[in-house]
Amino acid sequence: MKIVAADIIVSSPDRNFVTLKITTDEGITGLGDATLNGRELSVASYLRDHVAPLLMGRDPHRIEDTWQFLYRSAYWRRGPVTMAAIAAVDVALWDIKAKAAGMPLYQLLGGASRTGIMAYGHASGRDIPELFDSIRRHLDEGFRSIRVQTSVPGINAVYGVAAQPSATGQRYDYEPAQRTPLPAEEDWDTRAYLRHLPSVFEAVRGEFGPELPLLHDGHHRMTPIQAAKLGKALEPYDLFWLEDCTPAENQEALRLVRQHTTTPLAIGEVFNTVWDYQTLIREQLIDYVRSAVTHTGGITAMRKLLDFAAQYQIKSGIHGPTDISPVGMAAALHLDLAIHNFGIQEYMKHTPLANEVFRQSFTFTDGYLHPGDQPGLGVELDEEVAARFPYEPAYLPFNRLKDGTIHDW
């Protein structure tokens, strides 16, 4: 088999997605998700201008060799753009291999290690009653694990808090990317946040009892000592995890956090290689790996990363917000089903429009996802529908403190 085409499809059904479609001389096609929220066109160009020409004539079955070729021959290693592009190629090649084998992709990864994939949903509210409503709605939808984010008194716009119900009463999950010509400015005050958050978890535990797994995302905003303080303050509420408590480019920061708290820690949605985790995993400074399959070099690289983590009883918590397309979600689900050290899967539902562009076969039943049993990833791209929604510039917001200083968002 030979690769004869590699097309990059940029489409914006409610939000931007970049999709790679690889076509072979036997007519089998494979899809990869190359979406990098707020920087979409850089990956599209990397693929179109620099990678697609290299793929022509290659044997699509040689996945490991293609991965190493793209990683090493570029000379310039790592980084979100490069690793998202490599991930898209990798996932598309796995899709082709599994379709050629006539099997769902997870079978090629060793087969199912479980019957379903526990997923967590995103509940949020501006105040406690709104938050409780949102939690109840997620429970009604079937979620059995819930991420809790709320507004903080004194801060105007807080990460993770969904837009208000529309006139029709419909509620939406929080969507950070905004179709604005410039990134929106938000405000932040870590002390106000630290004062407020434990009372939110106390209220949620009081209302929903001790069993419900609860998660929280700190979105990189704390210093190590602040994170240590929060982890300690949240211990009575038995979190499933506290995510991205510090900006973890400095992996050593987690040593300090770890000394002070037994709250489980999840990190890594902004990472792109195993090297970003070296200290975190070897010193057992985290409990969950948060990388996206789509930003970390695809299934080939994620499998190696998660196998490394498994030696230290560290589990997966693969990134799955709406900026991961249904193609990227499907790749995550096949891996989740196959690996032994699965922890939990993030799941934010895509809009009906996005689901029209990407026809998926994965299911969500009683809180558990399953990738389905179609050959390959189980996702088809409707290029005609995709073409109706051209790219629209969109940015993630950023933070300033009260005195105007830029802060991590």
- Chain residues binding Mg ion by CB under 5 A are 217, 269
CA distance 203 to 200: 5
219 counts as catalytic: yes
Active-site annotation holder among 159, 193, 237, 347: 159
The minimum distance between CB 219 and Mg ion, in angstroms, equals 6
Integer angstrom CA distances of residue 157 from 30, 100, 203, 226, 286:
40, 48, 22, 21, 29
Q: Which of 37, 300, 325, 399 binds ligand GCO (CB under 6 A)?
A: 37
Are 69 and 330 in contact, with CB atoms under 8 Å apart? no
The single-letter DSSP state of residue 163 is P
Amino acid occupying residue 180: T
> Is 350 among the catalytic positions?
no
SS3 content of the chain, % helix, strand, coil (to 5): 40, 20, 40
- Residues binding ligand GCO: what is the number (CB under 6 A)? 9
| Catalytic entry in 219, 220, 319, 370 | 219
Q: Which of 104, 176, 326, 371 binds ligand GCO (CB under 6 A)?
A: 176
Binding mask 269-298 for ligand GCO (x = CB under 6 A): x-----------------------------
d(C-alpha 323, C-alpha 35), whole Å = 7
- Is 321 a binding residue for ligand GCO by CB under 6 A? The answer is yes
**3 state SS of 362:** coil
Q: What is the bridge-based pairing of β-strands 214-217 and 265-267?
A: unpaired
As measured in angstroms, the least distance from the Cβ of 58 to Mg ion is 35
Instruction: Give which of Mg ion, ligand GCO, none residue 378 binds (C-beta under 5 to 8 Å, depending on kind).
Output: none
> How many angstroms separate the CA atoms of 333 and 337, rounded?
6
Choose between 47 and 266: whose C-beta lies nearer to Mg ion.
266
Which of Mg ion, ligand GCO, none does residue 346 bind (CB under 5 to 8 Å by kind)? ligand GCO
The minimum distance between CB 177 and ligand GCO, in angstroms, equals: 6
- The answer to the question of residue 33 lying near ligand GCO (CB under 6 A) is no
Distance CA 58, CA 70 (A): 12
DSSP assignment of 112-158? -SSS-EEEEEEEEESSHHHHHHHHHHHHHHT-SSEEEEE--TT-SS-
Contact flags string 51-90 toward ligand GCO, x per CB under 6 A: ----------------------------------------
* 343 contributes a contact to ligand GCO by CB under 6 A: no
Kindly tell me the number of DSSP H helices and DSSP E strands found in the chain: 14, 18
Q: Which does 176 bind (CB under 5 to 8 A by kind): Mg ion, ligand GCO, none?
A: ligand GCO
Choose the contact partner of 40 out of Mg ion, ligand GCO, none; CB within 5 to 8 A by kind: none
User: From CA 328, how far away is CA 318, in angstroms rounded?
Assistant: 11
CB nearer ligand GCO, residue 64 or residue 249: 249
Looking at the annotation, which residues are catalytic? 159, 219
Tell me which residues touch ligand GCO (CB under 6 A).
37, 176, 217, 219, 269, 321, 323, 346, 396
